[in-house]
Structures are given as structure tokens and as C-alpha cells.
Amino acid sequence: MKDEFGREVRVFAPGSVANVACGYDVLGFAIDEPGDEVVARLVEEPGLRIVQITGDEGKLPTEVDRNTAGVAAHDLLKHLGMLDLGIELEIHKKMPFGSGLGSSAASAVAGAFAVNVLIGEPLTRKQLLPFAMAGEASADGAWHADNVGPCLLGGIVFVRDNHELDIAELPVPKDLWVAVVHPDIEILTKVAREILPKEVPLENVTQQIGNLGGLICGLIQEDYGMISRSVHDVIAEPKRQKLIPEFYKAKRAAMAAGALGFSISGAGPSVFGLCEGEASARKVGDAIQAVFSGVDLGNQLYVSKINQLGVRVIE
């Protein structure tokens, strides 16, 4: 690769909505924005280095072994026996930290994907999954693919087993849209996990399984009524809602505006409303924003179809 020194690849990895109400740690989908960008560049000096990070307000380490993108890229190169290859990474954070939108997953996916493209794509997207997972796990210690999976593959992803990384891509109804609102507070995944119950009543488990099965059936059959009846979380949401100001007021507003369902994105504080059609999604997004703005809580609205591309090369 001597003649290619200086060649670079820039990629964009989108944010994602994990859990999707009834699919705790096993269901997620990608959205169009926000997301992170990573640049991977071939250089003469051997080894992998992170040379620039922007948009992080000094929060992220440049040490490869402490950075999600760095860990993912390093593990990929180690697997391929290419650790002596000279590669520089630039990481451009373009999504909020602790947002519940898969920020660490996006960086990890972008790191692995960018390096894989740079060296000629020896692995498929699915084969990159364990390396991206290792990168995200380096941030919070958790091993769940409901953010990494959709960010890497696009669309809606179901995780049968997180340890085995046994995943399936679900069909996306053609008019399924989402309104995501991120209020300007930060919730650490560790904190959001600590408040969850250690034991769950059998009745709640049965109801949650029914909702998850119903949501998957609704997606497959493009049955928006079934989707709406199924987007309910009886396990995590009742505990986590207390971390988000005016959560139930926002939920009532979203449903009154026509949302199919409303819940917390990942660990929060971002919330989402699934909708049929763009017009409905924009109306629902405006309704949610109005609730947060009404209590002087800054927020950002993202409206998109389900992103079926996932991470991609950009110019």
C-alpha cells in the first residue's frame, strides 16, 4: 500500500433507537440523523492512531484502547493480522452524549467500517459486528447489539441472542416514520440500568413478550394497527420515565397528535413516536417539543423514515 499513503475514507454512522418499547436489549432501528463521522487515512508510520476528535468538548480520549472507534478498529486490524499498517483516525462527533441514540455505538461502527473500507473491505458488514460491539462495550461494559446492529446494517434489527450476536433484519413498512426528540439533559446508561427491577412479575413478562411478538408481526404484515397496539413497555419505561421531565405529558401529547406508539429511546432521555407517514411524524414531533419547551427544557427534533442504509461512505 506504499503508493496509497494519504488515501482516506470518510464514513457516516447514524444514530439509532434501541429497545423500541417492548424489545429491551433485543430490538432497534436506525434513523437518518444525528450521527457520527469518522475519517480513516493510510499513512507511512506503522500503527493505529487517533489524531483528531471534534464535537466532544474534551470528553473523549485519544488513546486507541480507551476510545470506542479506536477499540473497534484495533480489534479488526488485530483479527486480520494488520496491526503494523499505518492508519490515522479522525472522529467527528455530531450527536449528543448520553442521549439514548447510540452515540458510542455510532463511533464504534464508524471506526470498524471506515478501516474495513480503507483496506479493501475484506469483511462483510455482518462480519464487522463483533468488532463494533467490542468498541461499544469498551464505553459502558454492556454487550447488547440493539444499537450497533441497526447502525451497522440499517433498518430494524432483532437480536435473538446478544452473546452469540445472532441477529435478524426485519422488514420495514414503507410508510413507517419516526419523530425523535432529545431533551437537553444527560442520562448515563449505567444509571438507567441500575434503576431497573432485578425481578419482574410473570404477568409483565407475558405481556411484554406478547407486545414484542405483536410488533414483529405488525412490521412483517405492514399492519399499523398491530404496531400501535404493541408499542408498549411494561418493564423499563415505568421505572425510567422518572428520569425524563414531563415524560407522561409528552406521551399523552404524542398519542393525541396521532403517534402509533411512544416510548423512551434506549436508556433515554431521547423519546420517540412511531408514526404512519411523514406528516403525522412532523405533527407528533411538534407536539412532543411543545411539552419540553413549555417547561423551558431545550430540545432537538429529528424526523425521518427508518434509515435502511446504516453506516455509509460519504464524500
Report pLDDT digits (tens) over 25-62.
Answer: 999 999 999 999 999 999 999 999 999 999 977 889 99
Residue 4 pLDDT class (50, 70, 90 cuts): confident
CATH of 2-170+308-314, one of 3.40.190.10, 3.90.950.10, 3.30.70.1450, 3.30.230.10: 3.30.230.10
User: What are residue 308's phi and psi, to 5 degrees?
Assistant: -95, 0
What average pLDDT does the chain have? 95
Percent of the residues in the chain that have a pLDDT greater than 90, as a whole number: 90
Over residues 8-36, mean pLDDT = 97
Over residues 233-239, mean pLDDT = 96
Tens-place pLDDT, residues 130-188: 999 999 999 877 899 999 999 999 999 999 999 999 999 999 999 999 999 999 998 87
Tens-place pLDDT, residues 252-288: 999 999 999 999 999 999 999 999 999 999 999 999 9
Label each residue of the chain as H, E or C: CHHHCCCEEEEEEEEEEECCCCCCCCEEEEEEEEEEEEEEEECCCCEEEEEEEECCCCCCCCCHHHCHHHHHHHHHHHHHCCCCCEEEEEEECCCCCCCCCCHHHHHHHHHHHHHHHHCCCCCCHHHHHHHHHHHHHHHHCCCCCCCHHHHHHCCEEEEEECCCCEEEEECCCCCEEEEEEEECCCCCHHHHHHCCCCCCCHHHHHHHHHHHHHHHHHHHHCCHHHHHHHCCCCCCHHHHHHHCCCHHHHHHHHHHCCCCEEEECCCCCCEEEEEECHHHHHHHHHHHHHHHHCCCCCEEEEEEECCCCCCEEEC
Active site residue 189: yes
Domain boundaries, the chain: 2-170+308-314, 176-305
- From the list 37, 68, 189, 237, the catalytic residue is 189
Position 302 scores a pLDDT of 98
Position 3 scores a pLDDT of 60
C-alpha closest to that of 115 among 147, 83, 157, 93: 83
Judge: domain 176-305, CATH 3.40.50.1000: no
Active site residue 186: no
Position 189 scores a pLDDT of 77
Q: What is the pTM of this model?
A: 0.95
- From the list 37, 90, 136, 237, the catalytic residue is 136
Position 2 scores a pLDDT of 58
